[in-house]
A = this chain, B = another copy of it.
Amino acid sequence: MKVLVLGGDGFCGWPTSLHLSAKGHDVKIVDNFARRNADVELEVSSLTPISPMGSRLAAWNVLTGREIGFERFDVAENYHRLLTLIKEWQPDAVVHFAEQRAAPYSMKSSWHKRYTVSNNLNATNNLLAALVEAECDAHVVHLGTMGVYGYGTAGVKIPEGYLRIQVPTDDGTVVESEILYPPNPGSIYHLTKTQDQLFFAYYNKNDGVRVTDLHQGIVWGTQTTETRLDERLINRFDYDGDYGTVLNRFLMQAAVKYPLTVHGSGGQTRAFIHIQDTVRCIELAIENPPAAGERVQVFNQMTETHRLIDLAQIVSRLTGAEIDHIENPRNEADSNDLFVENRQLIELGLEPILLEDTLMEEVTEIAGKYADRVDLSKIEARSLWRKKS
């Protein structure tokens, strides 16, 4: 299959591109290096020494004999280049990672709010408009987030995208209906993903665009089978307060003997998935597109849930690190339950990698090995959801 990967240089995009290439797909990456440029802006670097795109692709070709194509441009700004690429190459699937993906980054300032909104929404709309204009029936596989759901309704397991409801009518009877799960985003970043859902529903209804929206949990881990082949293929590992996700931050903090920073009580429960499972899920999504005329297909792309304090305790047990409770910069509940339906990807063949089984590998392979590259001053989370009063 010809697969276009928008945002194929990023933390999920790069290992996905390699995985799909390894599985025999013909892969072409589009990326504007927005993620590398954010490192420049934030004065941080991946803990792992990631290679430039040219070296990455050359190494992959030498190691496997396979070629991955690459075009550098901004999907949100350069509509005509995207349109031409789609018209000429006629991909079978487009994996859409071309969005600013960090909640804290989206809350840093008005500029960051505005960049996240304009980039994410225009990128999604450009892709959909281009597919319609090019009359290309490619299946869109979009990386959404569990965050579109908020933290669910008490007593109701979060379904995969759609909620069955009952609406009392004026004559006293009740109408059954199934709706897109009512959105409850926790940041500007999450907001854009709820707005993306409306784009997908509309273009699906009006133009028949086939879409799978993957509501992904927090990704942990760094390497996949393919990125492990050679250091030039290594995946990025972010530990800073903006792009570092919670578990990777704990691991790195442990490696450098910094206390694990838990926001508030740590009672916040979140959904997680290993990066190796992410790339497998995307492969499964590509192989199982919705039929023509079918509504947007939504999978919950997560494998387990944990309270943040429990995660900190696991890491503490493995490494001896201390735990430090700090004031929560986010505007969120101090604790919550989270029950999530994730049957569809499991039924398609996903075999989850469990955190307790492989976390120690991360500690030694990544956090320990590259600990000398850390900049301790970048650990603190500085983005505030609201001004302090």
Whether A156 lies near B175 (C-beta < 8 A) is yes
- Shortest A76–chain B CB gap in Å is 9
Whether B195 lies near A114 (C-beta < 8 A) is no
Q: A residues 153-182 with Cβ under 8 Å of B?
A: 153-157, 163-171, 173-175, 177, 179-180, 182
Known: A126-B114, A182-B180, A195-B198. A153 touches B167 (CB 8 A): yes
Binds B, one of A62-70, A90-98, A183-191: A183-191
Whether A155 lies near B170 (C-beta < 8 A) is yes
Binds B, one of A27-35, A128-136, A247-255: A128-136
Among B114, B132, B164, contact of A129 (Cβ-Cβ < 8 Å):
B114
Q: Which residues of B contact A258 (CB under 8 A)?
A: none
Q: How many copies of this chain?
A: 2
Binds B, one of A115-123, A305-313, A343-351: A115-123
A83 within 8 Å of B (CB atoms): yes
Q: Which residues of B contact A163 (CB under 8 A)?
A: 167
Whether A155 lies near B183 (C-beta < 8 A) is no
Whether B173 lies near A168 (C-beta < 8 A) is no
Q: Which residues of B contact A126 (CB under 8 A)?
A: 114
A370 within 8 Å of B (CB atoms): no
Q: What are 13 A-to-B residue pairs whose CB atoms are below 8 Å?
A: A114-B129, A117-B122, A118-B121, A121-B121, A121-B195, A153-B167, A154-B175, A156-B175, A179-B182, A182-B182, A185-B198, A198-B198, A206-B385
Q: Which residues of B contact A185 (CB under 8 A)?
A: 198, 202
Interface string of A13-26 (1 = CB under 8 A from B): 00000000000000
Whether A175 lies near B191 (C-beta < 8 A) is no
* Chain A residues engaging chain B, CB cutoff 8 angstroms: 79, 83, 110, 113-114, 117-118, 121-122, 125-126, 129-130, 132-133, 135, 153-157, 163-171, 173-175, 177, 179-180, 182-183, 185, 188, 191, 194-195, 198-199, 202, 206-207, 331, 385-387
Tell me, in angstroms, the Cα distance from A174 to B167 when the chains sit together.
12
Whether B175 lies near A155 (C-beta < 8 A) is yes
Tell me, in angstroms, the Cα distance from A206 to B385 when the chains sit together.
7
Tell me, in angstroms, the Cα distance from A309 to B156 when the chains sit together.
45
Among B122, B171, B182, contact of A155 (Cβ-Cβ < 8 Å):
B171
Q: Which residues of B contact A166 (CB under 8 A)?
A: 165-168, 174
Q: Which residues of B contact A207 (CB under 8 A)?
A: 386
Tell me, in angstroms, the Cα distance from A331 to B202 when the chains sit together.
11
Tell me, in angstroms, the Cα distance from A125 to B169 when the chains sit together.
35
Tell me, in angstroms, the Cα distance from A154 to B170 when the chains sit together.
10
Q: Which residues of B contact A133 (CB under 8 A)?
A: 110
Q: Can you name the residue of chain B whose Cβ is closest to the Cβ of A208?
A: B386
Tell me, in angstroms, the Cα distance from A180 to B165 when the chains sit together.
13
